[in-house]
Amino acid sequence: MYKKFFFSAVLAAFTLPLFAQGEKPVALSNTPDMLAESVADPAVLNTALLIKKLTKKLGFAHVNVEKSPMPGLALITTEQGLFYSDYNGDFLIQGSLFSLAGEMTNLTEASLAKVRLKGIKAFENDMIIYKAKNEKYVVTAFTDITCGYCRKMHGEMDDYNARGITFRYLAYPRSGIKDRLGNLSAGFKDLRSIWCSENPEQALTKAKLGNNVAYRICDKPVEAQYNFGRQIGVTGTPAIILSNGTIIPGYQPPAQLEQILKQI
């Protein structure tokens, strides 16, 4: 029963928007790596050509190209998520690629897990952390103070910590970075103010209890965290990333999250 639920939850995480505003993501490379002189042979992958085509036609700022496990299909990593393309760059596929050789495996999820773990490392010094004294597990969660289930989850932090679960928060303003008029959204400004506080842990807890947020400005990468979340499949909060890079969308009660962590 759990496996079916978990498989469905993972599949639901892959509907990514094609275009977004804001800062450039931090975990990608657009350095061309020429693997061949020509793409006349469909079995040959020309990284530079694909980068040029995708950048020009789709406006991707950062593109990384590599061969996928499926012959003739390239894996495209962008600031807007993962895609697949033929080696000539004439077709673009958005969706999940599965291997049916042996046990069915979601290859897209496996690739995304690597991107998540690599990206998280870039924010290790800019997370708000609630550490368990007897730490057994570490999860990273995208959060917003306007999210009811985020507040519910945070209200049970003592229970999570007592079970040995350390929570590391990344910011994800659900209203986006800017409003319809092009101004910074209230949600973004509140989260930025919290991350800029002298005591972010205390400020976040107070905000999730409904207290007003003292306005502050600093260079904390709140926008970059939001863009990273969009890149790796976050569509709402809370969204929990486990130590193996798997993402679980939505609230998980302490006991249930502990059971999931034990099975990894």
Give the C-alpha separation, 194 to 22, whole Å.
19
3-state helix, strand, coil in the chain (%, to 5): 35, 20, 45
Choose the catalytic residue: 116, 147, 163, 190: 147
Q: Specify whether 144 is catalytic.
A: yes
Choose the catalytic residue: 116, 151, 163, 174: 174
Q: What tokens does 35 get?
A: 């693997």
Choose the catalytic residue: 116, 144, 151, 163: 144
Beta-carbon contacts of 30 under 8 Å, excluding residues fewer than 6 positions away, are 51, 55, 61, 62, 63, 64
Choose the catalytic residue: 150, 163, 192, 230: 150
* Whole-angstrom Cα Rg for the chain: 20
* Strand bridging mode 165-171 / 63-67: unpaired
Give the C-alpha separation, 107 to 111, whole Å.
6
DSSP structural state of residue 241:
E
Strand residues in the chain grouped as ranges (E): 63-67, 73-78, 81-86, 92-93, 98-99, 105-106, 128-130, 137-143, 165-171, 239-241, 247-249
Q: Specify whether 150 is catalytic.
A: yes
Q: Specify whether 218 is catalytic.
A: no
**Amino acid letter for position 258:** E
Catalytic residues, which ones? 144, 147, 150, 174
